[in-house]
Copies of this chain bind each other. A is one copy, B any other.
Amino acid sequence: MLNIKNNILLLKKKPINIKNKVKTIIKDIKIYGEFALLYYIKFIDGIDIKSIKELIINRKTMKSSYNKISNKKKKILKEIYLRLKRYHFHNYVNSWQINNNIDIIYGQKINNIEKICIYVPGGNTIYPSSIYMNCIPSLIYRPNFICMVSPIKNGVISNTILSISYLNKINKIIFSGGVHTLSCVVFGTRNIIKVDKLTGPGNYYITKAKKIFFGSVGIDMLAGPSELIILCDGFIHPNVISYDFFSQLEHDINASCCLFTNNKKYLNLLYTKIYKLLLFQKNKKIIFKSLKNSILLFNKINNLLEIINFLAPEHLMICIKNSNKVVKKIKNCGAIFISYKTTETYGDYVIGPSHVIPTNSTSKYFSSLNIYDFCKKIGIIKIYNNKYCKILSSFFSKIEKFFSHSFSSIIRK
C-alpha cells in the first residue's frame, strides 16, 4: 500500500521544471498566437509548416473518408457508437419548472456547453477508443462545436480514425498535440476557435497545462497514470487474472495493477504465473517496467475494502462470490467491473461508461467523464406573490447589513 503511494509521490516529484516550461509555452501562445504555435510545432514536434491550416481537417474530409471504408467496418463503428450512447442517455435529465401554487415559479434550465475541445493522446497511433469515450458523453446535450486535438508523429492518418471522428460529430481536427496546440484552443487564434471546455487525459505536460487553464476554460479532471485493483477470492484461474495484469500494465510504464486477495495460496500462484506468461506478451518491455508499480496484497476482505476506499483507485475489478455485498461497501472508486467475465478491457472500449476516469485518489471527489460535464444548470426564479419573501429577506438583510437588499424587496408591491 505504501508502495503505491510512494510511486505516485515519486512520479509527482520528478518533473520539477515541467511547470515552468508549460508556463512559458502558454505565455508565448497568449502573446504571439499562431506565430508561436508554428515555432513550437517546428522545434518540439519537428514539423515544418507554413500555416496551421495544413494540420486542420474539417468535416468534409472526414465524410469522404467515412465513405471509403467497408460496410463491415461501418457496422462495427456504428455498433460501438450506439452502445456507448445508449449508456449515457440513461443519465439524461431535462430542464424543469415548478409552480408551488403559493408564491413562486422556479426551475432549472439546462443548456449545453457550446464549444468543446477533446484531447486525444497519441504518438505513433491515435487511440480511436479515446475519441469515442470523450465525444459520446458530450453528444447527449448536443454541443454546437467539437474540436479534437491530437498529436500524430508519423503523419499517416487512417481512414478509420477520420471515420470515427465523423461518426462522433467532430467539427474540426487539429493534428498537432502538446501544450502549444491546447493553448491555442483555450485562448483562440486566427484559425483556431476558442472553446469553453477541455476534456481528455494527457501526459504530465498536458495535465499541468490543464490546471493552469482551469478557470479560463472548464476542464474535466486532472488525470494521471492508469490504475487497477483486482479484488479476488481465488476462484478464477490465475491465467485469466495474469492477462488482466498485462492488459492494464501495457498502457504505459507508469500504469499500475494490484491484486487484493484473502487467499494466500492464490497470491503465490498468481505471482509465478505472471512471470511465466510475461515473456509471451508482445508489449513485454512496457509491462516489465510498469510491473514495478504492482502489489499483491493478502488480507481479510473487510480490511481490503477499507484500503480500497482509502486509495480510491481508477478501476476496480471484483471477482468474488457475493459481489453485491462488496459493491455496496465501495465508496471511492472510478469504475467497477463485476464477475469473472468482465475484463477491464471491455470498459476501456465498448460497454458504456467513459474510460476517462479520475486517478490518483481523486475519485473521492471527481467522477468519470459523463454527460453532466457537458451541460450547465441555470436557476430560474419568477415570483408572483412576494409577501413571505419580503419577511424572510428582511431577516437576512438586517443581519448582513445589506440594507438596500431589504428596500429592493419592500419597494415591490
A interface with B by C-beta (< 8 Å):
76, 79-80, 83, 87, 90-91, 93, 96, 98, 104, 106, 108-109, 111, 113-114, 124-125, 127-129, 158, 160, 196-197, 211, 214-215, 217-218, 222, 239-240, 243-244, 246-247, 249-251, 281-283, 287, 327, 330-354, 357, 362-368, 370, 372, 376-386, 389, 391-393, 395-397, 399-409, 411-412
Contact = CB atoms under 8 A, between A and B. Distances in A.
B129 A400 contact: yes
Contacts of A211: 211, 214-215
Contacts of A80: 392
30 contacts: A79-B392, A91-B93, A93-B93, A106-B353, A111-B332, A128-B396, A196-B364, A211-B211, A215-B362, A218-B364, A239-B411, A247-B405, A247-B408, A250-B404, A251-B402, A281-B404, A335-B380, A336-B379, A337-B382, A340-B412, A345-B393, A346-B386, A346-B409, A349-B397, A349-B405, A351-B389, A352-B381, A363-B376, A367-B376, A368-B378
Given A129-B400, A402-B251, A90 B79 contact: no
A403 B251 CA distance: 10
A351 B106 contact: yes
A345 B400 contact: no
The list of the 9 closest CB pairs from A to B, nearest first, reads A353-B379, A218-B365, A246-B404, A243-B408, A247-B408, A338-B382, A367-B377, A247-B404, A350-B392
Contact of A341 (B243, B366, B412): B412
B76 A346 contact: no
A224 to B, nearest CB: 10
Contacts of A382: 337-339, 342
Contacts of A282: 403-404
Nearest to A350: B392
A256 B131 CA distance: 41
B364 A368 contact: no
